[in-house]
Amino acid sequence: YNQPLAHPLGASVREIIAQLRYQPTPKLYLNAQLMMYKQGTDVNGRNYGSNIFLSYNTRARNDNLFVGSERAGNCTFIDIHAAYEILENMFIDASATQRNYKLDGGAAQNVFFFNLGVRANLARRSILL
């Protein structure tokens, strides 16, 4: 597809991802995911590595760069999911997701949403970010 193979958040990123799965009964499935990352963002049109579609030849500098040396963004992403198997291969799914993002010197961006659904004969897909 002629796209670069890189981390979706770019070069200046540090992240932690954790997942917890628990099945208290044969038909109840619980899953929790946590992702926290710190990302250095591009400032004043200078390329510090957060945009994977920019050429590495336009980078601001080669030395003394570390995560957050430019304007840093901090994000926390939490997803809690529960599924109950009502019939064989038929599930009722419920999940709650919260994302908090704050750029240094900027206002916080907080998002929360709740999902409820019925799933039949399909595997649940979870894509972080």
On whether residue 93 sits in a domain, the answer given is yes
Tokens, residue 95: 């999940």
On whether residue 129 sits in a domain, the answer given is no
- pLDDT tens digit string along 76-92? 999 999 999 999 989 99
Q: Which domain holds residue 80?
A: 13-120
- State the burial class of residue 60 (Cβ atoms within 10 Å of its Cβ: 0-12, 13-18, 19+): middle
- Tally of domains within the chain: 1
Residue 118 φ then ψ, to 5°? -120, 135
Q: Is the pLDDT of residue 62 over 80?
A: no
Q: Is the pLDDT of residue 2 over 70?
A: no
Q: What is the mean pLDDT of residues 82-104?
A: 95
The helix (run of H) or strand (run of E) holding residue 5 is none
On whether residue 116 sits in a domain, the answer given is yes
Q: Greater confidence, 104 or 126?
A: 104
Query: What is the pLDDT, as a whole number, of residue 23?
Result: 98
On whether residue 7 sits in a domain, the answer given is no
Q: What is the pTM of this model?
A: 0.77
Query: What is the pLDDT, as a whole number, of residue 38?
Result: 93
